[in-house]
Amino acid sequence: MKICIVPTMFPKYKGDYYGSFVFDDAKELAKKGFEVHVVTQHNKGIPYEENMGGVHIHRFKWLEPGEFKALLHFKGFIDNLRLTTYLISLFFYLIWIVRKYNIDIIHAHSVIPTGFIGVIVSKIVRKPVFITVHGMDITNFENRPFYKRLITFSLINSIKTIAVSEYIAKKMISLGSNQENLIILRNAIDTNRFKPLRNSNLRKYYNINDKDVLILFVGYLDIFKGILELLEAFFELNEYNKNLKLMMVGNGPKENILKMKVLDQDLENSVIFTGKIPPVDIHNYYQSADIFVLPSYTDSGGPPLVIMEAMACGLPIIGTNIGGIPEGIEDGMNGFIIPPGNVDEMIKKLNILLKDESLRKKFGNSSLKKIYENSMIQEKKIDELINLYQEQIKNH
């Protein structure tokens, strides 16, 4: 069977974290014997055609920015012009790829723009189209009438619509998705890598001793992730807990501001900034931590990949009641749910975990159990996806 995946986010090179969840699916399908093609936009400094991990990648020309910029961050006249060239190029290039390689199924990731183009192309080439909705492709546009019509059109005309959470599934139904053709297939992780081990070597590398309690954040260092509130909570907790450390994994526009705040408090030995870590190594950082925190103001639909990775490594988790985050965290069972921006509540919940090692272990075990019970495992997800593909081909 030949599958053509059409994402808005996809790694630009081996080891790139951007859209790695789509690449993970594509690689697993290729390992199962499927011929997998990916059609995505070109970016500066990378080839137009390549094979990565057994996946055939085809990148189309468009009016791309001089430096990489995510489509969701496009604003203004020039960016709208770029998007227009993106849509036109994707439309013609996808038709060409589907016909050239005799593709059996088109699978778009994001309802707009790729899902919309995928639906139109599917009608021309008479091939079934699946759309996976990740969250921001709906939540960013559902209140804008023009885009809302495009979303509804795409959902109605897709053979199968896939939601990454119950939260997103409800939104899809409200926008016209056929409930009979909608399934929930959550993001998943590789439990061969993400598992509950203690990485003493990494702790030693960052001068974290056995008695230290390490709080971990993994993500983009920007305001909407709640990182300023996390740092504020840490400053207060540190006054009474001298064996406390905070590690921030990632980079972003607020990184320097965070570092300046740490210097002002003379806590550069207690707050660790690792910078961007390659996906192949990221599991080591979860395995060195004691508590994971995601205090985000926004979420793509979830449960977020970072929460699932932390869960698979047996960590207790604190997260906000936003989007699909609560579908990964059961309050009082494997972690705590707090309101976004509420520093006092964050301090309160962190303090509970800091003082009670047995509770941290209990929550961590519950996190691990929840991963397996909810089929958030890569292998199980791929098997379910393959069944959907085979069922469609059989009935087509």
Pairing relation of β-strands 49-52 and 55-60? antiparallel
Sorted by where each begins, the domain ranges of the chain are: 2-188+377-395, 200-373
Q: What is the pLDDT of residue 69?
A: 66
Residue, of 139 and 210, whose pLDDT is higher: 210
Residue holding tokens 């009016």?
Answer: 63
> Which residues in 31-101 belong to E strands, given as ranges?
35-41, 49-52, 55-60
Residues in CB range of 169: below 8 A, 6 or more apart: 163, 182, 184
Please tell me the least confidently modeled range out of 115-119, 158-162, 343-347, 376-380.
376-380
The neighbouring-strand residues paired with 183 are 162
Pairing relation of β-strands 213-218 and 291-294? parallel
- What's the mean per-residue pLDDT of the chain? 91
The neighbouring-strand residues paired with 292 are 216, 317
CATH class of 200-373: alpha beta
pLDDT exceeding 90 applies to what percent of the chain? 68
Q: What is the pLDDT of residue 396?
A: 67
Q: Do 2-188+377-395 and 200-373 share a fold?
A: yes
Instruction: Specify whether domain 2-188+377-395 bears CATH 3.40.50.2000.
Output: yes
Q: Is the pLDDT of residue 180 over 90?
A: no
Buried-exposed string 133-158: b where 16+ CB fall within 10 A, e elsewhere: bbbbbbbebeeeeebbebbbbbbebb
For the chain, give the longest Cα–Cα distance. Answer: 66
Q: What is the pLDDT of residue 116?
A: 96
The DSSP string of 357-386 is HHHHHHHHHHHHHHHHHTT-BHHHHHHHHH
Q: What is the pLDDT of residue 72?
A: 66
The pTM of this model reads 0.86
Mean pLDDT within 155-175: 92
Q: Are 133 and 110 in contact (CB under 8 A)?
A: yes
Residue, of 29 and 375, whose pLDDT is higher: 29
User: What's the chain's length in residues?
Assistant: 396
pLDDT tier for residue 394 given thresholds of 50, 70 and 90: confident
Q: Is the pLDDT of residue 374 over 80?
A: no
